[in-house]
Amino acid sequence: MNCCEQLASDGYAVVPGVYRVEECREIASQIESALVACHDGSASLRRANGAIYGARNLLDLFPEASQLWQRSVLTDLLSDVLGSTFGLVRGLFFDKPPRGSWSLPWHRDLTIAVHEHQPASDRFRNPTTKAGVPHVEAPDEILRQMLTLRIHLDAATAENGPLVVVPGSHHSRDTHSSREPAVILAAAGDVLAMRPLLEHSSGESHAGSDLHRRVVHLEFAASPALPDGYRWRQFNSI
């Protein structure tokens, strides 16, 4: 089964060996330097001990992230899945640092970053503002035309709180798959492609673990157009 077939069937697929381990280390170092240097307190998410465990607005804080995905194996996959007019619309950064781990319950990725909030809409709901950026819960017809690439900068192992997904749950927010959850294990440099509506969760790293679990999370949409007067906050095409 190729990546496109697995995405259609399961809602996710792992693309192996897209980046070298040395590249992953360099990217992780550059992102951490950018976050440490940022003086906007809402930009980087920190634990009580000061450890950075995430960042919103990654494309603003680390503009190089807008180019990371431009590898032929990824651009070909995006074109095959989303069509020729796709673009990058949001970037996030996650880590589970030693002595600063965290967990997430089962959920789907329903919110998108938009240019500004619009008047009440039957399709776009629950407007919020995250790190100064308007967000809104998008309808399923938009989310089905999106694909997320998660670049693993570290190996995802059983020890450092890997992602767990429910295969086949990606068709709508009302889809309840009866299939067994799957643990996503990956090497540094692998890329997980997943649909936003896929149910997923993750647990904390094992107690005493000295492993990071750094991920660059990039969201792509099939079209620059949104209904009801909404606009993507960013739309970066090739």
Nearest to 78 by CA among 232, 233, 218: 218
In CATH, what number is assigned to the domain containing residue 58?
2.60.120.620
Q: Is 230 inside any structural domain?
A: no
DSSP 8-state secondary structure symbol assigned to residue 172: -
Residue 235 lies in a domain: no
Q: Indicate whether 229 belongs to any domain.
A: no
Residue 32, domain member (yes or no): yes
CA-nearest of 60, 16, 68 to 40 is 60
Query: How many Cβ atoms sit within 10 Å of the Cβ of residue 15?
Result: 18
Classify 179 as helix, strand or coil: coil
Is residue 21 assigned to a domain?
yes
Per-residue pLDDT of the chain (238 residues; tens, 9 = 90+): 899 999 999 999 999 999 999 999 999 999 989 888 876 655 667 765 777 888 889 999 999 999 999 999 999 999 999 999 999 999 999 999 888 888 999 999 999 999 999 988 889 999 999 988 999 999 999 999 999 999 999 999 999 999 999 999 999 999 889 999 999 999 999 999 999 999 999 999 999 899 999 999 999 999 999 999 999 999 999 8
Q: What's the pLDDT at 238?
A: 82
| Residue pointed to by tokens 């950064």 | 93
Instruction: Report yes or no on 238 lying in a domain.
Output: no
Closest CA to 142 of 124, 128, 129: 124
Backbone angles phi, psi at 191, to 5 degrees: -125, 125
* pTM, 2 dp: 0.95
Number of other residues whose CB lies within 10 A of the CB of residue 75: 13
Q: Which of 15, 161, 35, 144 is nearest to 92 (CA)?
A: 35
Q: Domains in the chain: how many in total? A: 1
CA distance 68 to 95: 18
Residue 151's nearest CA partner among 61, 35, 31 is: 31
| Cβ-based neighbour number of residue 139 at 10 Å | 17
- Token pair 């995905």 is at which residue? 69
Q: Tell me which residue range forms the domain holding 41.
A: 3-221
Which candidate, 156, 152, 186, 149, places its Cα nearest to that of 25? Answer: 152
Spatial contact of 202 and 213, defined as CB atoms under 8 Å apart: no
* Radius of gyration, alpha carbons of the chain: 17
- Does residue 142 contact residue 211 with C-beta atoms inside 8 Å? no
Angle at the Cα of 24 from the Cα atoms of 75 and 148, rounded to 5 degrees: 40
Domain-located, residue 233:
no
pLDDT at res. 75? 97
Q: Is 234 part of any domain? A: no
